[in-house]
Amino acid sequence: MIRLALLILSFLFLFGFFELAAQGYVPQSLDTNNITSGGAAYSVSRTGDFAAGFAVAVGGGDAQPARWTSAGTTFLPRLTGDEAGEAQGVNDAGAAVGASVNIMQQGQLTFFFLRGVLWSNPHNVVLLSSLATSGDTDIVPIEGIALNNHGLILGYGKRPQVDGIRAFVLDQTCGEMTDIGTLQGTQNSSAEPWDLNEQGEVVGSSEAANF
Protein backbone atom coordinates (compact mmCIF):
# COMPACT_ATOMS: atom_id res chain seq x y z
CA MET A 1 0.00 0.00 0.00
CA ILE A 2 1.37 3.40 -0.92
CA ARG A 3 2.19 5.57 2.06
CA LEU A 4 0.73 8.85 0.84
CA ALA A 5 0.50 10.38 4.30
CA LEU A 6 4.17 10.00 5.19
CA LEU A 7 5.81 13.39 4.70
CA ILE A 8 8.94 12.96 6.80
CA LEU A 9 12.11 12.91 4.74
CA SER A 10 13.91 9.68 5.41
CA PHE A 11 17.60 9.27 5.90
CA LEU A 12 19.22 6.19 4.43
CA PHE A 13 21.79 4.61 6.72
CA LEU A 14 23.38 2.47 4.04
CA PHE A 15 26.59 2.35 2.03
CA GLY A 16 26.94 5.09 -0.52
CA PHE A 17 24.68 7.50 1.34
CA PHE A 18 26.43 7.90 4.69
CA GLU A 19 29.81 8.51 6.15
CA LEU A 20 30.97 5.93 8.66
CA ALA A 21 32.07 7.74 11.80
CA ALA A 22 34.11 6.21 14.62
CA GLN A 23 31.04 5.71 16.78
CA GLY A 24 28.53 4.70 14.08
CA TYR A 25 26.55 6.14 11.20
CA VAL A 26 26.05 9.78 10.26
CA PRO A 27 22.60 10.42 8.73
CA GLN A 28 22.51 12.58 5.62
CA SER A 29 19.61 13.77 3.51
CA LEU A 30 19.35 12.15 0.08
CA ASP A 31 17.66 15.28 -1.28
CA THR A 32 20.88 17.17 -1.98
CA ASN A 33 19.26 19.23 -4.77
CA ASN A 34 16.50 20.39 -2.38
CA ILE A 35 13.45 19.72 -4.56
CA THR A 36 11.32 17.75 -2.09
CA SER A 37 9.40 18.51 1.08
CA GLY A 38 9.42 14.92 2.30
CA GLY A 39 9.50 11.28 1.34
CA ALA A 40 10.96 7.86 2.14
CA ALA A 41 13.64 5.63 0.64
CA TYR A 42 12.77 1.93 0.61
CA SER A 43 15.77 0.31 -1.07
CA VAL A 44 19.40 0.84 -2.06
CA SER A 45 21.49 -0.77 -4.79
CA ARG A 46 24.33 -3.10 -3.84
CA THR A 47 26.85 -0.53 -5.06
CA GLY A 48 25.27 2.26 -3.03
CA ASP A 49 24.91 4.44 -6.13
CA PHE A 50 21.10 4.42 -6.21
CA ALA A 51 18.21 4.53 -3.76
CA ALA A 52 14.49 4.36 -4.53
CA GLY A 53 11.22 5.27 -2.84
CA PHE A 54 8.79 8.17 -3.00
CA ALA A 55 8.99 11.90 -2.46
CA VAL A 56 6.69 14.92 -2.30
CA ALA A 57 7.70 17.98 -4.27
CA VAL A 58 8.31 21.33 -2.62
CA GLY A 59 4.90 22.95 -2.44
CA GLY A 60 3.09 19.70 -1.69
CA GLY A 61 0.97 17.35 -3.77
CA ASP A 62 0.72 13.60 -4.08
CA ALA A 63 3.60 11.23 -3.40
CA GLN A 64 5.69 10.61 -6.51
CA PRO A 65 8.05 7.76 -7.38
CA ALA A 66 11.62 8.87 -6.83
CA ARG A 67 15.20 7.75 -7.29
CA TRP A 68 18.24 9.20 -5.58
CA THR A 69 21.90 9.43 -6.55
CA SER A 70 24.76 11.57 -5.30
CA ALA A 71 23.26 14.36 -7.44
CA GLY A 72 20.05 14.31 -5.41
CA THR A 73 16.42 13.49 -6.15
CA THR A 74 14.96 12.51 -9.53
CA PHE A 75 11.20 12.16 -9.85
CA LEU A 76 10.27 9.13 -11.96
CA PRO A 77 7.40 9.30 -14.48
CA ARG A 78 3.93 7.89 -13.83
CA LEU A 79 1.66 6.09 -16.25
CA THR A 80 -0.55 8.42 -18.27
CA GLY A 81 -3.54 9.56 -16.22
CA ASP A 82 -2.08 8.55 -12.86
CA GLU A 83 -1.46 11.01 -10.04
CA ALA A 84 0.97 9.25 -7.69
CA GLY A 85 3.38 6.36 -7.30
CA GLU A 86 6.30 4.83 -5.46
CA ALA A 87 9.45 2.90 -6.31
CA GLN A 88 10.12 -0.12 -4.12
CA GLY A 89 13.26 -1.72 -5.52
CA VAL A 90 16.37 -0.61 -7.43
CA ASN A 91 19.31 -2.51 -8.90
CA ASP A 92 22.94 -1.62 -9.62
CA ALA A 93 22.06 -0.23 -13.07
CA GLY A 94 19.54 2.17 -11.55
CA ALA A 95 16.48 0.38 -12.92
CA ALA A 96 13.58 0.50 -10.48
CA VAL A 97 10.24 -1.23 -9.90
CA GLY A 98 7.17 -0.14 -7.99
CA ALA A 99 3.67 1.13 -8.70
CA SER A 100 1.95 3.91 -10.57
CA VAL A 101 -1.21 4.97 -8.77
CA ASN A 102 -4.52 6.28 -10.06
CA ILE A 103 -6.38 8.18 -7.33
CA MET A 104 -10.16 8.29 -7.71
CA GLN A 105 -12.55 10.24 -5.52
CA GLN A 106 -16.11 8.92 -5.21
CA GLY A 107 -18.12 11.03 -2.81
CA GLN A 108 -16.33 10.99 0.52
CA LEU A 109 -14.33 7.90 -0.42
CA THR A 110 -10.87 7.89 -2.01
CA PHE A 111 -9.71 4.84 -3.97
CA PHE A 112 -6.13 4.01 -4.92
CA PHE A 113 -5.60 1.78 -7.95
CA LEU A 114 -2.03 0.48 -8.19
CA ARG A 115 -0.37 -0.93 -11.32
CA GLY A 116 3.03 -2.59 -11.22
CA VAL A 117 5.66 -0.83 -13.31
CA LEU A 118 9.33 -0.89 -14.29
CA TRP A 119 11.51 2.17 -14.77
CA SER A 120 14.33 0.94 -17.00
CA ASN A 121 15.72 4.48 -16.87
CA PRO A 122 14.57 7.72 -15.19
CA HIS A 123 12.55 8.74 -18.27
CA ASN A 124 10.74 5.54 -19.22
CA VAL A 125 7.94 3.69 -17.37
CA VAL A 126 6.32 0.46 -18.58
CA LEU A 127 3.67 -1.85 -17.16
CA LEU A 128 5.01 -5.11 -15.76
CA SER A 129 2.07 -6.86 -17.44
CA SER A 130 3.43 -5.78 -20.84
CA LEU A 131 6.70 -7.62 -20.13
CA ALA A 132 5.02 -10.94 -19.23
CA THR A 133 4.59 -13.06 -22.37
CA SER A 134 4.54 -16.60 -20.97
CA GLY A 135 3.86 -18.55 -17.79
CA ASP A 136 1.35 -17.23 -15.24
CA THR A 137 0.34 -14.20 -17.29
CA ASP A 138 -3.18 -14.23 -15.78
CA ILE A 139 -1.71 -12.55 -12.70
CA VAL A 140 -2.33 -8.80 -12.98
CA PRO A 141 0.68 -7.06 -11.36
CA ILE A 142 -0.21 -4.60 -8.60
CA GLU A 143 3.32 -3.63 -7.62
CA GLY A 144 6.94 -4.48 -8.24
CA ILE A 145 8.88 -5.03 -5.00
CA ALA A 146 12.47 -5.83 -5.94
CA LEU A 147 14.71 -6.62 -8.91
CA ASN A 148 18.17 -8.06 -9.21
CA ASN A 149 21.00 -7.60 -11.71
CA HIS A 150 20.03 -10.65 -13.78
CA GLY A 151 16.67 -9.44 -15.09
CA LEU A 152 14.45 -10.95 -12.39
CA ILE A 153 11.61 -8.81 -10.98
CA LEU A 154 9.73 -9.71 -7.79
CA GLY A 155 6.21 -8.43 -7.33
CA TYR A 156 2.66 -9.24 -6.36
CA GLY A 157 -0.71 -9.14 -8.06
CA LYS A 158 -4.11 -10.76 -8.37
CA ARG A 159 -5.81 -13.24 -10.61
CA PRO A 160 -9.26 -12.21 -11.91
CA GLN A 161 -12.11 -13.58 -9.78
CA VAL A 162 -9.65 -14.96 -7.17
CA ASP A 163 -9.35 -13.41 -3.69
CA GLY A 164 -5.75 -14.31 -2.90
CA ILE A 165 -2.76 -12.04 -3.50
CA ARG A 166 -0.13 -13.84 -5.56
CA ALA A 167 3.61 -13.23 -5.50
CA PHE A 168 5.44 -13.64 -8.79
CA VAL A 169 8.90 -13.55 -10.31
CA LEU A 170 9.09 -12.06 -13.81
CA ASP A 171 12.13 -12.87 -15.94
CA GLN A 172 12.76 -9.92 -18.26
CA THR A 173 15.15 -11.93 -20.41
CA CYS A 174 12.45 -14.34 -21.62
CA GLY A 175 9.17 -12.76 -20.49
CA GLU A 176 8.19 -15.66 -18.23
CA MET A 177 6.06 -14.87 -15.17
CA THR A 178 6.07 -17.46 -12.40
CA ASP A 179 3.61 -17.68 -9.49
CA ILE A 180 5.91 -18.59 -6.60
CA GLY A 181 3.08 -20.29 -4.69
CA THR A 182 2.09 -20.43 -1.02
CA LEU A 183 2.58 -22.84 1.87
CA GLN A 184 -1.13 -23.67 1.69
CA GLY A 185 -0.96 -24.50 -2.01
CA THR A 186 -4.42 -23.12 -2.80
CA GLN A 187 -5.41 -20.46 -5.34
CA ASN A 188 -7.13 -18.23 -2.79
CA SER A 189 -4.28 -18.26 -0.25
CA SER A 190 -1.90 -15.31 -0.40
CA ALA A 191 1.82 -14.64 -0.59
CA GLU A 192 3.41 -11.31 0.28
CA PRO A 193 6.93 -10.97 -1.15
CA TRP A 194 9.58 -8.77 0.42
CA ASP A 195 12.93 -9.29 -1.29
CA LEU A 196 14.84 -11.11 -4.03
CA ASN A 197 18.57 -11.84 -4.16
CA GLU A 198 21.01 -12.33 -7.03
CA GLN A 199 20.35 -16.09 -7.04
CA GLY A 200 16.61 -15.53 -7.49
CA GLU A 201 15.72 -16.62 -3.95
CA VAL A 202 12.68 -14.89 -2.45
CA VAL A 203 11.62 -14.09 1.11
CA GLY A 204 8.18 -13.01 2.28
CA SER A 205 5.12 -14.41 4.00
CA SER A 206 2.38 -16.91 3.17
CA GLU A 207 -1.17 -16.54 4.45
CA ALA A 208 -4.20 -18.82 4.47
CA ALA A 209 -7.41 -17.60 2.85
CA ASN A 210 -9.87 -15.67 5.00
CA PHE A 211 -13.24 -17.33 5.45
Which is more confident, 184 or 3?
A: 184
Gyration radius of the chain over CA positions: 17
CB 37 within 8 A of CB 66: no
CB 99 within 8 A of CB 144: yes
Q: What is the pLDDT of residue 26?
A: 87
pLDDT at 43 over 60: yes
Q: What is the pLDDT of residue 103?
A: 96
CB 30 within 8 A of CB 69: no
- Closest to 158 in 3D by CA, of 175, 142, 177, 182: 142
Tens of pLDDT, residues 69-118: 999 999 999 999 999 999 999 999 999 999 999 999 999 999 999 999 99
Tens of pLDDT, residues 138-147: 999 999 999 9
Which is more confident, 142 or 208?
A: 142
Angle at 114 between CA 141 and CA 40, to 5 degrees: 110
Angle at 178 between CA 177 and CA 179, to 5 degrees: 125
Contacts of 34 (CB under 8 A, 6+ apart): 58, 72
Residue 204 CA to residue 148 CA, distance in Å, equals 16
Residue 154 CA to residue 143 CA, distance in Å, equals 9
Q: Among residues of the chain, what percentage have pLDDT more than 70?
A: 88
pLDDT-derived band of residue 24, with 50, 70 and 90 as boundaries?
confident
Q: What is the pLDDT of residue 113?
A: 96
